[in-house]
Every structure is written in C-alpha cells, then in structure tokens.
Chains A and B, each alone.
Chain A
Amino acid sequence: MTPEDSRYAKSHEYVHVEGEVGTVGITDYAQKELGDVVFVELPQVGTQFDQGDELGSIESVKAVSELFSPVSGEVVEVNETLADKPELVNTDPYGDGWMIRVRLNAPDEVDELMGAEEYEEYIEKEASR
C-alpha cells in the first residue's frame, strides 16, 4: 500500500511533510527492486540540497543506486539507526526505514510530486516496460 499522506518522485523517493519538515525515504516499490539493502550512505546534518540533487547512495547485495532529493532544503536529521540496521529500508520503508528529515526551502515543490494514486499508476507502467 502506498501511503496517501506522502508525495512521490519519479526516482522512487517519498516525502512525508509535517509543517516545514519533510521526511524522505524510498518507496516500497524501490526497496523491492533493490533487494536486500546492506548499506545506506546519507548526507550530514546541515547539508543543503536542491530538488533532484544526489543525497547519497543505497547499496543492496546486488547493486548500488543513488538517492535523489525529492525536495530542496537543509538536512536537519539523519536516521542513524540505518547504519546498524539497513534492512529497515526493506522491512519498513515508510516507517523506521526513513532516511533523512529536511527543512523545506520551497514547499511548493511538494505539489509538483505525485500523489499516491498517480505514483501507483506510474510504477505499473514502469513494471510493464
């Protein structure tokens, strides 16, 4: 199930906005595509990002993929638990498997992202390609 209360990027990150802070992670579809996640490299608190910038990388057993920022802003918190338990990205991508929290520079950007229903249609098309 794709949570209704988050917005989604074409590169398969989600952002869940509460006030001026957005929580960013990868979607359930993305974690399934990657397989067992074994290492997540995340930026440091205080780092500034533009929408679409590379935030870090996610290593699964079989491959590496980049994590792109779905929004512009400043990193205010990093999920330190992932250093010891990267598998949370697989088991709970929308919950304990979150990656960073960002103070949004441009809340309007969030509106440009897809809603849950639109994202599900998007991944259906991706999967059948």
Chain B
Amino acid sequence: MKKTPLNAVAHELGGKMIEFGGWEMPVQFTSIIDEHQAVRTRAGLFDVSHMGEILVKGPEALKLLQKTTCNDVSKLENGRAQYNGLLYPTAGFVDDLLVYRMASDDYFVVVNAANSDKDYEWLLECAKGMDVKVTNASADYAQLALQGPNAQAILQPFTDVDLSSMKYYHFARGKVDGANAIVSRTGYTGEDGFEIYVAPDDGPRLFRKLIETGRVTPCGLGARDTLRLEAKMALYGNDIDHSTTPLEADLGWIVKLEKGDFMGRDILERERAEGPRRKLVGFEMVDRGIARHGYPIVEGNEEIGVVTSGTHSPTLKKPIGLAYLPLDKSAPGTIFTILIRGKEVRARVVPTPFYKRAK
C-alpha cells in the first residue's frame, strides 16, 4: 500500500487505517459522527495527499484541456479553479477533477487518487502531436484540507495570503507556516474551507501545528464521505465512472456544449435534447434501513436502477443516499423500492443537496 507524507502523523494521532484507492489512509480518528460535526460546526483537518496532481503546460495546454473535458476551461482566469469532467469519447467519466489556472499556458489539475495514473496516461495519449507538456507531479505535493466555519480564522495566522478576500473556488500562491504553498478556497465537504498544497516534507509539520491550535479536529475518510454525500458531491467509483455521463450524474452545470468540440460532445448534445436515459437522484428512506453502494432498485422482478452511495446522515440524523433511476421515475416525491440484502424497502426521491450551509 502507498503511504502519504502524513501517514506517520495519522498513526501518531490514533487514526484507524484502511486501504483506499491503493493508499493506507485513516478512516477515522475517534468517531465519524464526531469528526463530521466538527467540520459542520468548527473545523476539521484531512490529509488528502493521496489525490493526484497533473501539470499541463505549454502553448496548447488550454486546447488539450478543452478537447478532453466538458466544462469551459477558457472561462478560467488566473487564480481561479474549476470543477470539471475528464471524458471518454463515449461521454463517460475518465475522472472528475479540479483545474487551477496558474497562467494562460499553465494549468494545475487535481485528480482522484485511484485515477491519477490512468488520467495522466489518458492526457498524454490525447496530447500526442500537440505542443503541450503533461507531467504527473503527484509525488511532489502533500495536500491538506482544512474545512469548517472556523477554517479561515484558524489558517490566517499561518499565512501571508489574505484569506478574507479569497472567494470560493479562488486560489493564491503564498507562504503557509513559512513554506511555499498553493491555498485554494475549495473542498469536498459542503462547508467553507481551504485546500493547501505544500511540498511533501512540509506537510507533517503543518498538519501538527494546525492540530496543536486546539481548534482543529483530525478527520478521516469516513467523515469526508458523509460530508460530501450530504452536500451531494459525486464520488468517482461510486456515483460516477466510465459508464456514466455528466448529464446522467445531474452535473449539467459542468457541460458547456457551446464551447466547441470536445470528447463525448455529440452524446451529451443528444442527451441534452432528448434527456438522459437515467438520472442520479438523492433519496431518503420511507421504511427502516440504510441502502448502500450497489444495492439494486427493483420494480417487480425487474432491476430498474442502483444505489450508488448511501449512509446515515449525521446532520439530518437519518439515512440518505444517491441512486440512478430511469428519467421518468426521477422526480422528487417518487417512491421506489430498494433491495436491502434481499428485503424490499421503500425510499423516496428528494431534492438535493441534503445539506446546504448558511451563507
């Protein structure tokens, strides 16, 4: 198993370690519910160094990203980040990712841990014959996510970057605890917060210092999953993969058909005109039980859909989940049946996100 630069710190802090995407990562330190609530009400700190970083540089950097992704990268300005989908010609996801624009010919692309090699090779393949350099820089960064309403107040004393003027999905280069860093106002929790990229050697010291403020709870992947699910943020491998399109995944806001040609565009154009055949929806349970990833949705003897994510929501204190349903059965209020270990249990489509922070 691969280990992040923060692995020893996670062990020191009593992290319960699991395998995730080929990495040994903490799933929790004390309790998923406690860590979840810390992020919703105060601040939590995650090691997300397993995420991959790919550099795309050169005169045709923008051209490569425009060709391979569905969002409009030309709309990015320096110092801004964008959520985007890296697509196959089938319009299925290679990955979902963040694109940071450093300069008009210099992009910093943050991808899922388990996909970083695949994404890198895909971008290399697509870049053939183009004047662009693609580099897998995943080993050059530790990444920390400080998330929660107190994140700004806690981080500000450590950095020369003015956090108060930094808007959501903006970023800046600067010093954090004396080390060179990229600080972005982004996250995967539905809460305010920052993601901090530093050199691997600088990660452990920064992580410890933030914990030593006494105002930050170390958090594991368990809380990361419940937090992102409440905010209805997709998880690659659960809610999206090579077989799902952004429109099926209810991510129409990152599909910019008007930007020109890109991989999968023809399929997305048809889906936008005719509607995708299925749609990712949020649901709550009508009967008791927790539906989890992979549980079938049935109508009589027919399997009509599948649960992609499901858990107990610590904020709502009830089970929630995401599922693919046929388009004509995806409207809020629709009741459907999930097979939970062979037992038929009813659930109801609800509007999403399940949780939205007060602005």
Contact = CB atoms under 8 A, between A and B. Distances in A.
A88 interface: no
Interface residues of A, number: 13
A45 interface: no
B290 A62 contact: no
B27 interface: yes
B289 interface: yes
Given A35-B222, A61-B311, A62-B311, A41 B288 contact: yes
Interface string B225-240: 1100000000000000
Given A35-B28, A57-B341, A61-B312, A41 B222 contact: no
B33 A39 contact: no
B289 A36 contact: no
Interface string B265-307: 0000000000000000000000011101000000000000000
A41 B27 CA distance: 24
Contacts of A41: 288-289
Interface in A38-66: 38-39, 41, 57, 59-64
Interface string A98-114: 00000000000000000
Given A35-B28, A35-B32, A36-B31, A59 B290 contact: yes
Contacts of A90: 31
Contact of B33 (A36, A59, A63): A36
Contacts of A63: 292
B27 A39 contact: no
A64 B292 contact: yes
B5 interface: no
Contacts of A59: 289-290, 312
Contacts of B31: 35-36, 90
Nearest to A66: B341
A41 B285 CA distance: 15
Contacts of A61: 32-33, 222, 226, 311-312, 314
A59 B314 CA distance: 13
A62 B289 contact: no
A89 to B, nearest CB: 13
B interface, how many residues as a size bin?
A: 10 to 19
B290 A36 contact: no
A59 B313 CA distance: 12
A62 B288 contact: no
Contacts of A62: 27-28, 32, 222, 225, 311
A45 B290 CA distance: 23
B289 A39 contact: yes
Contacts of A36: 31-33, 312
B31 to A, nearest CB: 5
A57 B292 CA distance: 14
A94 to B, nearest CB: 19
Given A61-B32, A61-B222, A64-B292, A38 B312 contact: yes
Contacts of B314: 61
A64 B290 contact: yes
Nearest to A62: B222
Contacts of A60: 32
A99 to B, nearest CB: 16
Interface in B199-230: 222, 225-226
A41 B342 CA distance: 14
Interface in B315-338: 319
A87 B195 CA distance: 33
15 contacts: A35-B31, A36-B31, A36-B33, A38-B290, A38-B312, A39-B290, A39-B319, A59-B289, A59-B290, A61-B32, A61-B311, A61-B312, A62-B32, A62-B222, A64-B292
Interface of B: 16, 27-28, 31-33, 222, 225-226, 288-290, 292, 311-312, 314, 319, 341
* 6 A-B pairs with the lowest CB-CB distances in the bound complex, closest first: A38-B312, A61-B32, A36-B33, A59-B290, A62-B222, A61-B312
Given A36-B312, A38-B290, A41-B289, 6 more contacts: A36-B32, A39-B288, A61-B312, A62-B32, A62-B225, A64-B341
